[in-house]
Structure 1
Amino acid sequence: MRTFIYWSIASLFSIFSIAQNSPSQIDIVDFKNAAVDIYVNENSELISGTVTYQVSILKDIPSLFIDAKNITRYDVKIDGKPVKADYNKKQIVVESRFRESATHDISIEFSTQPNTALYHIDKDNDGKWDQIWTQGQGKYTSNWLPSIDDMNDKMVWDISITAPSQYRAISNGVLLETTEIDKNIKWQFNMDFPMSSYLVAMVVGDYKVEKKMTASQKQIELYYYPEDAQKVEPTYRHTVKMFDFLEQEIGIEYPWKVYKQIPVKDFLYSGMENTTATIYSDQFVVDDIAYNDGSYITVNAHEMAHQWFGDLVTETSGKHHWLQEGFATYYSMLAEREIYGEDHYYMTLFENAESLIAQTKAGKGTALLDAHASSLTFYQHGAWALHALREEIGNADFKLSVRTYLKQYAGGNVTTDDFLNVVNSISGKNMTAFKNRWLTNTQFPSAEALQLLRKSNFMEQYFQLAARSISSFDEAFNSYKETLSSPLNELLVEEMISQLILHKKNDKIIELYKEAAASGSVKVRQAIALSLQEYDPALDKLLSTMLNDQSYLTRESALFLLWQGNPMDRPQILRDAREKWDSMSPSLEMAWNALALNSSDFKNNEKYEFLQDISKYTSPEYNPQTRTAAFDYLINLNAMGTQNYRDLMNACFHHNWRFYKNSRDIFEALYKKDESRVLIDRILSTMPDDEQKRIRDLFTV
């Protein structure tokens, strides 16, 4: 008995040590399946539910753990019987005499109030949440769901969500059924293939869905807010085409039965590739005009490619992160090539190479196999490595290598050597030199990249034109004229336009602008409008036509230039422009109002409305980019009102770190000004003590 007690204590100490210092217990227990039942409270940010794990014991152990944070209540059962468990703020440690080869069901009934990874979003600023979404990458799922942070321990997840009936719940996998329960609806989802817990997703909100079918008869579900019905097509343009292309190019059929895409408010990143359910920022939800200013295409293709590279096969550790991000970036570039053409693909490679070379020159270069490498390295350098590998071993061997790699490791975890060994086996080529040159080298191999770029006839043309940037205008003129000859290449014309501002304005430059604009290309005309730094009377008619272009960016730039160059006609220019527009982006609307406020002939009551039209955009109803722009406008206009200051204080505690950091910088700068400080202190004095305290504690004001 004494020996057993000693062994139990020693083993328990070992498990506690593992639980607190190492996230892995895959050598002693295998988590096979997870059945999750979540309850979402309409009037609270508390999440409650039950998760049941089916586990296989690989070695005799006295305890095992489930990662869990922010837990406020928990009860644990093994095979339906209550057992002792301890909670150390990081894990729930379940104690029992687990025997090798045994299988058990471990159920945890819990409540949690997460401060990260799961976010309750108040879209209309009425004090109640309207939307919930999760972001688990980085071992964060355990912040709201007792789970396994170790990405090497994959399991099959079946998820049920009970949510208020006015909302739709969305999660991984196929929706099996919905059940009405009082004023709630239970949504039950089924998965039939294992995945890591960081890929578990949940979204609850007011959504409608449009369904598409792919060539391989996979269902794509495109979610949208009810008010955005007219934006579905431009937002999701080319989605099915890219999906079909990736299946064909990768050579492995999409591994699951359904693929969903869900926009959410104030997302932390552009998008996240949760298995079968990509969540992305609703800033990418666009109408037909905004599509030309910045679309969802790149993010869409990138997250879609992750379904194979990251979800089907998953890295073992951060050292091999490029196997996910580099592959997803590369295959998204191939998908874009299918839409925009070969020249676009090579231009993307070139621009990425420029960024990577700049990183190397700045002394910030890191190896691709460095777990602490930058995103630029993991994504763009990783994509470049794959482009170089394809050139080195040939198209057929490259595609066969990728197919074999995915088939061999489907549902598992991989290292870089796993992939390179497959490449070696298929191609018969030793990968040591490639690995040294592209994966372990801390400097981007710029010389080889240039050689690979020069295989493109387009890039040779581009390099020749780019070299004209150091020539005189007279020396470059013939090259510019040649660039505008048919067939027109938008990318080359955009490079020419970028060079025109380097030369002193003359009649020939004006004619080049007009000739380029006459092409009718939205992108070329946009490039002209954005490149012009000041008004030129010779371009007045051209700029006037640009007010009707299918680009909000072009309209905004053209409007400013016309307003700048025609001080006597400013009110009329503004009125005429607004009458022509059926829609405006927030940026264009704020620009119009700011110009109107700085124009004569508008009445005071009109100017009050113009100011209100800018002020509304500081509200939490809008995305961080729009809110930041609104703060900047109001500060420059010296027009920050009480509600705008309240919105700024609210933004200082936003969950998006980039936004809250910028908001805090703005707040601190304003507080240093006497006039602003008086108003801020007055507003603070009217706020509840707890809200006032957190502002004063944060800024020591």
Structure 2
Amino acid sequence: MGFDQRRAASLVALLSILACAPSNGAMAPTAARPVSGDTGAPGIGDPDFPLDGNGGYDVSHYGLELGYTPSSKHLDGVATIKATTTQALSRFDLDLSGLDVSEVTVNGEKAIFSRNGTELGVLPATPLGNKADFTIKVAYSGVPKPIKDSTNLGTFGFVPTPDGAFVACEPDGAKTWYPVNDHPADKAAYDFAITVPDGVTALANGEQVGEPTTAEGKTTFRWRERHPMVSYLATATIGKFELRKGRTPGGIPNLAAVDPKHRASLDDLYNISGEVTDYWSKVFGPYPFSSTGGIVDDFSAGYALENQTKPLYGGFEPDQSIIAHELAHQWFGDSVSIKRWRDLWLNEGFATYAEWLWAEHKGTNTADRLFQTFYNRAASEPMWKYPPGRAQPKDLFNDSVYTRGGLTLHALRKAIGDETFFTLLKTWTSDHKYGNVTTDEFIALAEKLSGKDLKPLFDAWLFQPTKPDA
């Protein structure tokens, strides 16, 4: 059933009565029923990713009960989703890729559902009014299929490994393992209960709740991330890991986990993560979450991802610069998140510049010297033809978004001075803690704190397809 057909079906439903529904709750293509209210849009409104996320509601909490068997790659899940409508809803969508849905309920009543590509359409038994709190429960199972997209990160989502799963979901891979409003604009808290075979460890965001429980050859790990989180930052990374637990010198709980193949990196990951977290807490403002750390898994992803509270490193042992980058994201991208993917430089440009600040802090380089090195690239270099202030959906993670984004921040630092620049960073992270932002909001704050007209500077560095004057 296409999107236009679904809307048409909803209109027909105003005039018809559903005689009966399939016993498993699946929506028959010709089913019609009396409804009131409106249909939620199949996308959240991001023009670059028109089918990511969904309209009509805002999620506040995901409760994910998962059972995973590495030998068969089979996942069983029950997702309990608490949300609030932003309009009257007779029908709405969730994002879910693959996997078989056996039942959907809304507020405890069995709902009719349909599948169309990565859209899970839901017709509640009782239509929902505007600003109404409601609970969706989805039972599902199957073998997760990661997304393979050479234009962006490559392979992402729920990626099976010989001993478990590598779970890194940017930009829109969360839907490969749970039903979700899969877009950064809708952040929510999470609880995880992950059951795996004995001897296997399940790691997720936030902090572990109680001790693992074991029964009938299986162990259940419970994790809770009580702070709002973007869907692509959720993880349920599973495998055999060596762990080190403790606190940073500044007192923040710290957990490092490494695959046995990378056991030599455990202490470095733990110590550097702690040192970096404490230092960024001075530069960017108080650490926004309740724990820090990182995971090194034995999957050659070719990238790292800043999963909230637990950055994930795919098949390599990260150096200080990479750890500094991923942990800077806890402020820029995780706590302060983008509203639309076009503003991705607010994540990656800031984390790249954090690498330069870390080098400056350690005395191995200066941000100004690094700025000059990158700025000296020839005007014909592709970086100058890609304006980072408007990330392109088929090339989100372009070098320009990272490097030219970092160059923009240093150009700004030189224009407004160190005192105002570092006040700006702390004010930005404080004013928008746990929220969503745009580039226009950052420019406005920079102008307010500096008292300068900075639009020409940002236009040249972020929006023009040419090399700016330094």
> Which residue pairs with 1:276 in the alignment?
309
Question: Superposed, which structure 2 residues align to 1:17-96 within 5 Å?
Answer: 22-26=51-55, 28-96=56-124
Q: Whole-Å Cα distance in 2 between the matches of residues 152 and 4 of structure 1?
A: 31
2:151 is the alignment partner of 1:111: no
The residue that corresponds to 1:147 in the other structure is 180
Q: 1:303 to 1:384 in 2, by over 3 A?
A: same
| CA 1:206–1:24: 2 relative to 1, 3 Å | closer
Describe how 1:283-294 pairs up with structure 2 within 5 A.
283-284=316-317
* 2:160 counterpart of 1:120: yes
Alignment pair present for 1:371 and 2:411? no
Cα deviation for residue 13 of structure 1 reads 6.7
SS at match of 1:138: coil
Aligned partner of residue 405 in structure 1, secondary structure: helix
1:255 aligns with 2:281: no
The aligned residue for residue 382 of structure 1 is 405
Residue 373 of structure 2 corresponds to which residue in structure 1?
A: 351
One-letter amino acid matched to 1:219: P
In the TM superposition, residue 336 of structure 1 has moved relative to its aligned partner by 2.4
Distance 1:389 1:18, change over 3 A: closer
Greater C-alpha radius of gyration = 1
Partner amino acid for 1:98? L
**What is the alpha-carbon distance in structure 1 between the residues aligned to residue 163 and residue 13 of structure 2?**
57
* Alignment-derived partner of residue 441 in structure 2: 418
Could you say what secondary structure the match of 2:405 adopts? helix
Match of 1:160 in 2: 193
Residues 140-171 of structure 1: CA deviation (Å, up to 9, x unaligned): 11012111112101111111111111111100
Distance 1:74 1:12 in 2: 25
Question: Counterpart of 2:464?
Answer: 441
The worse-fitting range, judged by mean Cα deviation, of 1-10 and 403-412 is: 1-10
CA distance in 1, matches of 2:40, 2:280: 46
**Which of residues 415, 422, 426 in structure 2 aligns to 1:403?**
426
Which residue identity does 1:35 align to in structure 2?
Answer: G
Higher helix share: 1
The CA deviation at 1:10 is: 10
Q: Tell me the TM-score normalised to structure 1 length.
A: 0.57
Q: Which amino acid aligns with 1:162?
A: T
State the Cα distance separating 1:338 from its structure 2 match.
1.6
The one-letter amino acid paired with 1:206 is K
- C-alpha spacing 1:336/1:100, structure 2 compared with 1 (3 Å): same
Q: Is the 8 A contact 2:367 2:410 kept in 1?
A: no
- Equivalent pairs, count: 425
Higher strand share: 2
Q: Evaluate the alpha carbon distance shift between residue 17 and residue 362 of structure 1 in structure 2; reply closer, same or farther with a 3 A threshold.
A: closer
Aligned partner of 2:254 among 220, 230, 242: 220
**Partner secondary structure for residue 324 of structure 1:** helix
Is 1:323 matched with 2:335?
no
Please give the alpha-carbon distance, in whole angstroms, between the structure 1 residues aligned to 2:201 and 2:180.
Answer: 24
The amino acid across from 1:23 in the alignment is: D
The separation in 1 between residues aligned to 2:81 and 2:414, in whole angstroms, is: 46
User: How far apart are 1:268 and its partner, in Å?
Assistant: 2.2
Instruction: For 1:287-686, list aligned pairs within 5 A.
Output: 296-341=319-364, 343=365, 345-354=367-376, 357-358=377-378, 360-361=380-381, 365-372=385-392, 375-445=398-468, 447-448=469-470
Deviation of the 1:3 alpha carbon: 10
User: Is the 2:207–2:291 Cα contact (8 Å) retained in structure 1?
Assistant: yes
Quick check: 1:112–1:144 contact (8 Å CA) kept in 2? no
Residue 532 (structure 1) aligns with: none
- Does structure 1 conserve the Cα–Cα contact (< 8 Å) formed by 2:196 and 2:202? yes
% identical equivalent positions? 22
Q: 2:15 aligns with which of 5, 17, 24?
A: 5
Q: Which amino acid aligns with 1:415?
A: T
When residues 328 and 361 of structure 1 are mapped into structure 2, their CA distance, relative to the original with a 3 A threshold, is closer
Cα RMSD (Å): 2.6
The CA deviation string for residues 607-663 of structure 1, in whole angstroms up to 9 with x for no partner, is xxxxxxxxxxxxxxxxxxxxxxxxxxxxxxxxxxxxxxxxxxxxxxxxxxxxxxxxx
Shift of 1:197: 0.8
Q: Against the structure 1 CA distance between its residues 52 and 424, is the aligned structure 2 distance closer, same or farther, given a 3 Å change threshold?
A: same
Q: Please list the CA deviations of residues 443-467 of structure 1 after superposition, one character each: whole Å capped at 9, or x if unmatched.
A: 232x41xxxxxxxxxxxxxxxxxxx
CA contact (8 A) 1:267 1:281 kept: yes
Higher relative contact order (CA 8 A, sep 6+): 2
Shift of 1:361: 4.3
Residues 407 and 138 of structure 1, relative CA distance in 2, 3 Å threshold? same
Q: Secondary structure at the match of 1:312?
A: coil
The separation in 1 between residues aligned to 2:44 and 2:351, in whole angstroms, is: 33
Counterpart of 1:248, as a letter, is K
Distance in 2 (alpha carbons) for counterparts of 1:390 and 1:135: 33
> Structure 1, residues 336-367: CA drift from partner, whole Å, max 9, x if none?
222243x354443333224xx33634596121
Distance 1:42 1:23, change over 3 A: closer
Deviation for aligned residue 1:21: 5.1
Work out the CA distance in 2 between the residues paired with 1:201 and 1:112: 18
Distance 1:398 1:112 in 2: 50
- Seen in structure 2, the aligned counterparts of structure 1 residues 231 and 369 have a Cα distance that, compared at 3 Å, is closer
SS in 2 for 1:193: strand
**Bigger CA drift: 202-211 or 226-235?**
226-235
Cα contact 2:96–2:179 (8 A) shared by 1:
yes
Alignment partners' CA distance in 1, 2:383 and 2:307: 34
Letter in 2 for 1:108: V
Structure 1 distance, partners of 2:236, 2:13, is 47
Structure 2 CA distance for aligned equivalents of residues 69 and 113 of structure 1: 11
Alignment of 1:133 onto 2:156? no
Query: 1:345 & 1:102 partners in 2: Cα distance?
Result: 50
